[in-house]
Structure 1
């Protein structure tokens, strides 16, 4: 198990959760690949997207349903400032994860986290566990709790 996956497992264990990781034979780097591998709807895949606050410069984690794109105006309203894509090297340095394997938990330092309310419509969702082919299944309400996330609408309906 990679160092990144060990951090995710330690964070789950610290939260009192006994969750098994599933290592897929193929990449789960995109939501579509993950949905196929996990045999679920694309909406059940948690995309962990990291943005940088334009004013604060702080990283922000948006947990978004795999079938949604982020409406930036809605995300910025939820976060309270303008957002821009964070540099991939900075993401790796500050979270310990590479793009495609960013987990909702297990970061080097906690990030302000916002969760797409659509994810809460499902009984179970699948998230990256620190690698581009390692995932775990979790109740989205538990994910909301352990990440201390705020809900937001990722897209206009």
Structure 2
């Protein structure tokens, strides 16, 4: 068994700590984008659970939207859900709030508590793949496990 990078190992430890038997896989090539991840694991782009960090414009509250790789998050619809406009934060904010770099943010194991929303389109698949701490690490999971894993709320993100 190959050793995982420290960030990927943190995700593996978080998975195990929550009682999930999923295995983190690190690739030599990048899995930063949904298309790259889908090509690496041999699935459709829709089966990639991409983690997108936003912050509320007025309160500065971190939000994590776990969206299907095939979907674009409708920021106006998110505004209605969270009660204020949202914006894309800089890389430092993402790292500070999650403990991970953009392109590797997993659905769990974050540095700070996040409000989490899950794209209901992910729930149609038997298997999905999520980032695992680095831009070249992922893990395979059942979509139904995203809700208990994250404490998130399933919503329509498009």
How does the TM-score come out when normalised to structure 1? 0.94
Give the aligned partner of residue 89 of structure 1: 92
User: In the alignment, is the contact (CA less than 8 A) between 1:78 and 1:152 conserved in 2?
Assistant: no
Of 88-97 and 109-118, more deviation after overlay is shown by 88-97
Of 141-150 and 74-83, more deviation after overlay is shown by 74-83
Q: What is the Cα-based RMSD across aligned positions, in Å?
A: 1.1
Tell me how many residue pairs correspond in the alignment.
Answer: 155
Offset of residue 147 of structure 1: 0.2
**Alpha-carbon distance in 2 for matches of 1:103, 1:22:** 13
**Alpha-carbon distance in 1 for matches of 2:97, 2:6:** 14
SS in 1 for 2:19: coil
Q: In the alignment, which of 33, 36, 49 is matched to residue 33 of structure 1?
A: 36
Unaligned ranges ≥5, structure 1: none
Q: In the alignment, which of 112, 123, 128 is matched to residue 126 of structure 2?
A: 123
State whether structure 2 residue 80 is matched by structure 1 residue 77.
Answer: yes
Q: In the alignment, which of 102, 107, 120 is matched to residue 99 of structure 1?
A: 102
How does the TM-score come out when normalised to structure 2? 0.93
SS in 2 for 1:22: strand
Unaligned ranges ≥5, structure 2: none
**Alpha-carbon distance in 2 for matches of 1:114, 1:78:** 10
User: In the alignment, is the contact (CA less than 8 A) between 2:57 and 2:87 conserved in 1?
Assistant: yes
**Alpha-carbon distance in 2 for matches of 1:79, 1:120:** 22
